[in-house]
Amino acid sequence: MTDYSILPALVDERLSGGRVRIDLDALKSNWKKLAGMTPTSKTAAVVKADGYGLGVEQVVSALTEAGCETFFVALPEEGVRVKKQAPSAQVFVLEGLFKNAVATYAEADLTPVLGSIENIELWASFWHERGSRRPCAIHVDTGMNRLGLRVEEAKEFVLDDSRRNSVTPILVMSHPACSDELNHPKNAEQVAAFNEVRSLFPGVDASFANSAGIIGHKDFIFDLSRPGIALYGGEAIENFANPMKPVVTLEGRIIQIRRASAGETIGYAATHTFTRETKIALVAVGYADGYLRSNSGFDMRTKGTAPAKGPVGYLCGREVPIIGRVSMDITALDVTDIPEQELEKAEWVELFGNNIALDDAARAAGTIGYELLTGLGARYSRTYISSDKRD
């Protein structure tokens, strides 16, 4: 049995304005489901940004227990944390080599994802001075135009014997730009380019599939798949039923129920005017906690169209609309339609979780689930739920 209380709780729930509940059983189930979708491919896990905001130590511990042996992080600092939790795991660092930290990669047994000739030469030089070579991954840009060797650079690399033999690549990878849109023409362009790249590295494992690739693009599947957002319960593809279990529930504490009359306003800039006698629940969560100001009960954005559905909370079995502006520490909700006897007992309002999907909450705020998860603030109390947790 694994003890998921790896770190002391930073915030006592009795003192917090909001709480986050993280279902590690659902996380493990999601990883196993994704692995089952690609039986011919090994399945890794992307745990960058502190395990998508959930706590990388707890996330890695749970995923290791589920059977995951390979992890991707963005930064070497994250990789060091993963290796402390899972010493035998293969850990790839997506953002390549940091010039002054090469020795740390070596000491921590991290595998850099090399996306430039300069990175390749730096890694090769470090190990040449020590009379050995260590594994790396090669990142090739097939159309994202972000990190990675250009396809022509990759061709030049493999034709240059001195460079090609200076490192030991164990993985060649690229990243899809538009995988969340099933019919985007960029997908076919990138797969074709990646197939060309893969042929340059015979005998080396290949990786292209992210969460969306696993769920909706079978031609993205190669030797290693690397899901991210789907692990944490988020949608991977637009306008596509989400097959993943929700992992995270965010709730805000009700600190006051007050009443307002028709014609009165609420909040900064008086953006909401009441049209009836209204009961208001004031919740101790705001943009200082990562609950975005764009979750306010009106369209804060200057571009684009308003979401089809406005931001809501979930209380006493009903959706309740957010009204007025979300402020630094407080969010207001219209709870007029909640019966008084139920409202008197209510303590917490769900802001997303089992009843309000993460991505529905994100759409209402004009953003994506990734941002809501990775922006979860330090003032929340956190509870990790697992059937394997020790008493």
The whole-angstrom separation of Cα 295 and Cα 150 is 39
Is 377 in contact with 54 (CB distance < 8 Å)?
no
Q: How far is CA 241 from the centre of its chain?
A: 18
Q: Which residue has the tokens 């917090």?
A: 16
Per-residue burial over 17-44, b if 16 or more Cβ lie within 10 Å, else e, is bbbbbbbbbbbbbbbebbbebbeebbbb
Closest C-alpha to 122, from 101, 139, 99: 99
Our CA angle for 332, 333, 334, nearest 5°, is 130
Is 48 a residue of the active site?
yes
340-345 long-range contacts (CB < 8 A, ≥24 apart) are 342/316, 343/257, 343/279, 343/281, 343/316
The whole-angstrom separation of Cα 244 and Cα 216 is 13
Which among 84, 218, 268, 309 is annotated as catalytic? 268
Closest C-alpha to 124, from 89, 147, 157, 87: 157
Is 268 a residue of the active site?
yes
Neighbours of 8 (CB within 10 A): 5
DSSP state of 307: P
Tokens describing residue 48: 């960058």
For the chain, where are the E strands, in sequence order? 18-23, 42-43, 45-46, 70-73, 90-93, 111-114, 135-141, 149-150, 168-173, 205-207, 224-225, 248-260, 265-266, 272-273, 278-283, 312-315, 318-323, 331-334, 348-352, 381-385
Neighbours of 77 (CB within 10 A): 13
The whole-angstrom separation of Cα 70 and Cα 207 is 12
Which among 28, 48, 52, 83 is annotated as catalytic? 48
Residues with active-site annotation: 48, 268
